[in-house]
Structure 1
């Protein structure tokens, strides 16, 4: 699914404007002023859809397997690893958004460490800010790079390489 299609689905959930169109409630709102957990909420939804769509390149028939695999990929543990892998490509402004999300008060689930959970919240806040700012090219670039980092780390883990990064062959 393209970003424009995803945006259309989100827009349909908002109230109609005066012309009968879709009113975007966040128009005119400075994303830098939004609560970081709201940004993370949007970023989480986006990354879930991104990963699910990306996995369709590999499997189209086994929905249960797709769901289980996508749930693992979007977990706090793997999002934390993704952030560590993409951090060098981020701008100072993007790192600042990440830090705001990471530092937001929230409660970590038992499936990850507190540090991983907070890091994943920062990662999601970054994606949410890019989405709401309509910086779709940058959003796709960061999402693809994150998916690549996660894929490589999973392969390394499967093949017994416990170090971060990729194996040399």
Structure 2
């Protein structure tokens, strides 16, 4: 269901070539990656049980906070292609406009790299790989 929604979102616009996506600002990719991951996590939590919106939000934070995303990307590093890890590093190395409020700077940078990868996969139309990484992300956080 989520995969089809992602494909419709991408196809509703236009799947970009890898060259076009690589020309996009890493923080722009991270911006979309953050939204895609947040929607994925919200859907996952809604489907796992009938709880209040307050509980859903509290549970979502466990997955989307910078520390969790940094942990995810470190766990996934060995499974990523060189190209994917290059995208993570581009996102990680970007200077953000404002320092993180509730996160360690290193975690924040790796979280930005993770979100950049998700945005990259989204815009290149690699929804199978995007879903695989997001599902593994849930497994990583759930195992801790």
Q: Normalising by structure 1, what TM-score?
A: 0.76
Over the aligned positions, Cα root-mean-square deviation in angstroms equals 1.9
Compute the displacement of 1:9 (Å).
5.2
State how far apart, in whole Å, the 1-side matches of 2:79 and 2:15 are: 28
Map of 1:53-132 to 2, 5 A cutoff? Answer: 53-106=43-96, 107-132=98-123
Q: After superposition, what is the alpha-carbon deviation per residue over 1:96-134, rounded to whole angstroms, capped at 9, x for unaligned?
A: 000000001113322111000010000000000000000
Measured at CA, do residues 72 and 128 of structure 1 come closer, stay the same or move farther in structure 2, by a change above 3 Å? same
Q: Computing the radius of gyration over CA atoms, which structure comes out larger, 1 or 2?
A: 1
Whose helix proportion is higher, 1 or 2? 2
**What runs of 5+ residues in structure 2 fail to find an aligned partner?**
none
State how far apart, in whole Å, the 1-side matches of 2:125 and 2:42 are: 21
Q: Normalising by structure 2, what TM-score?
A: 0.89
**What runs of 5+ residues in structure 1 fail to find an aligned partner?**
12-21, 154-169
How many residues align? The count is: 142
After TM superposition, where is structure 1 displaced by more than 4 Å over at least 4 residues in a row?
A: 25-29
Q: Larger RCO: Structure 1 or Structure 2 (Cα < 8 Å, ≥ 6 residues apart)?
A: 2
